[in-house]
Chains A and B, each alone.
Chain A
């Protein structure tokens, strides 16, 4: 039997005396768009960073694509593409070179063609020669998605991917998410945008004060939020 895309069991994360996550358990099937919703400080980004192997749980177990976070983090890293609030690209390089650096690190075959394909798909083909430092927030976000997709990951993890984007960039981001799911890959989405989450996600959880307060259908999650069950804004 295939393991779920995500399996989180009783995960705690403590920063000093504060519990950022307090015994969260959840599962997400492969090929789903899994939305994690919650207000600021609810613990969703903390959980995302654990799933992205940037942080370790204080207690509990997390598995991504069948690999345990911690013991098998190396295997996870090769299979996930992560978009955070910053683009994570070297600012002084032209976009093509910045992406080429990551392509080399991931061992992407035929890297130049892959970079050009992705740049065209994300509307960045004409900016490949421009230094990353000259990019606007929206351009940086698209460049970041380009970086995350370079190695054709099995799972795309997105932290607030819609913040600060114009309509065109939002449409492109929506399209990338839908295409990724249509290809049978998994998308993990952390967002405040309830309307988008309800439209794009196939599964969702709501976190509040480090605890899971809702687990189920994204449309119901949005309704739960408006009813004040753990999600504000």
Chain B
């Protein structure tokens, strides 16, 4: 390396990647708009399917946590699918793979930026959900839901970004992503729905639920850290 450069630390590269990912999305907004539209449509469909009449109130109480997480899942999957696809199609991914960036750093940066997009979207969708379905979240329930959502998102995004790196270059990769991702998310979403149910009752999450989410996050993050380099080793090419 010549005197023109001073190799940045992995953390500096990580910050740079996240910052530029965010700036790019703010310019383009295509991922956020697509995720937002999917979330809106899903919420509206549920709001038509489950009328808010007093004689059907039980149905909503039984299903509200599931409705919220299905909405989050459908919307967020679009962001996950685009974690690499947009960059690969424009050639930018090859540019990043050519740069002296450690593969785990690229993976963590992409997980973080995808997570930021998804959390920003979830805030909007949650507010809309509460208004559309006339629900309230307060006190311990609200904080419990925030903690559980973040823990669920971390697991969801870490495994999702890894599968996205596997599928972006394959024909029908967007469909394959969902086929591979959804079954892997079953345990994490079960727990998320249980915690959300308790949150709507105003109760804090159980320690065992948070512990389970934490364990799954660690497992998925470890898998991503170890496997990501192998997934992109020969995938600098085009779709």
Using CB atoms and an 8 Å cutoff, list the residues of chain A in contact with chain B.
Answer: 49, 52-56, 74-75, 77-80, 82, 84, 86-93, 97, 101-102, 104-109, 114, 147, 151-154
When distances are taken between beta carbons in the complex, the residues of chain A under 8 Å from B91 are: 84, 86-89
Is the pair A74, B100 in contact by a Cβ cutoff of 8 Å?
yes
Query: In which size bucket is the chain B interface?
Result: 20 to 34
Complex alpha-carbon distance, A84 and B94, angstroms: 9
Q: Give 8 new A-B contacts, CB below 8 A, not counting A55-B234, A78-B1.
A: A54-B237, A74-B102, A79-B1, A90-B92, A97-B23, A105-B13, A105-B100, A105-B101
5 nearest CB pairs, A to B: A88-B95, A54-B236, A86-B91, A152-B4, A78-B100
Is the pair B27, A92 in contact by a Cβ cutoff of 8 Å?
yes
Complex alpha-carbon distance, A113 and B126, angstroms: 46
Given contacts A55-B234, A56-B234, contact A147 B5 (CB under 8 A): no
Complex alpha-carbon distance, A211 and B24, angstroms: 42
Complex alpha-carbon distance, A93 and B95, angstroms: 15
Digit string of B1-28 for contact with A (CB within 8 Å is 1, else 0)? 1111111100011001100100110011
Interface of A is mostly: loop
Is the pair B236, A93 in contact by a Cβ cutoff of 8 Å?
no
Is the pair B16, A104 in contact by a Cβ cutoff of 8 Å?
yes
Is the pair A77, B100 in contact by a Cβ cutoff of 8 Å?
yes
Query: Out of A56, A75, A78, A89, which one reaches B92, CB within 8 Å?
Result: A89
Shortest Cβ distance from B28 into A: residue = A92
Is the pair B7, A52 in contact by a Cβ cutoff of 8 Å?
no
Is the pair A107, B8 in contact by a Cβ cutoff of 8 Å?
yes
Complex alpha-carbon distance, A140 and B169, angstroms: 24
Query: Out of A49, A80, A104, A152, which one reaches B236, CB within 8 Å?
Result: A49
Complex alpha-carbon distance, A156 and B26, angstroms: 33
Nearest CB on B from A65, distance (A): 11
Given contacts A105-B16, A114-B4, A151-B4, contact A49 B237 (CB under 8 A): yes
Nearest CB on A from B109, distance (A): 10
Is the pair B237, A78 in contact by a Cβ cutoff of 8 Å?
no
Nearest CB on B from A76, distance (A): 9
| B99 interfacial by beta-carbon distance below 8 Å | yes
Complex alpha-carbon distance, A114 and B3, angstroms: 12
Digit string of B102-124 for contact with A (CB within 8 Å is 1, else 0)? 10000000000000000000000
Nearest CB on B from A54, distance (A): 3
Nearest CB on B from A166, distance (A): 22
Complex alpha-carbon distance, A91 and B237, angstroms: 18
| B98 interfacial by beta-carbon distance below 8 Å | yes
| B97 interfacial by beta-carbon distance below 8 Å | yes
Is the pair A147, B27 in contact by a Cβ cutoff of 8 Å?
no
Is the pair B5, A152 in contact by a Cβ cutoff of 8 Å?
yes
When distances are taken between beta carbons in the complex, the residues of chain A under 8 Å from B208 are: none
Is the pair B24, A92 in contact by a Cβ cutoff of 8 Å?
yes
| B90 interfacial by beta-carbon distance below 8 Å | yes
| B56 interfacial by beta-carbon distance below 8 Å | no
When distances are taken between beta carbons in the complex, the residues of chain A under 8 Å from B23 are: 93, 97
Complex alpha-carbon distance, A84 and B92, angstroms: 11
Nearest CB on B from A187, distance (A): 16
Shortest Cβ distance from B9 into A: residue = A107
Is the pair A89, B5 in contact by a Cβ cutoff of 8 Å?
no
Query: Out of A54, A88, A93, A102, which one reaches B27, CB within 8 Å?
Result: A93
Query: Out of A54, A56, A93, A151, which one reaches B24, CB within 8 Å?
Result: A93
Complex alpha-carbon distance, A90 and B21, angstroms: 10
Complex alpha-carbon distance, A37 and B3, angstroms: 33
Most A-side CB within 10 Å, residue of B13, B20, B28, B101: B20
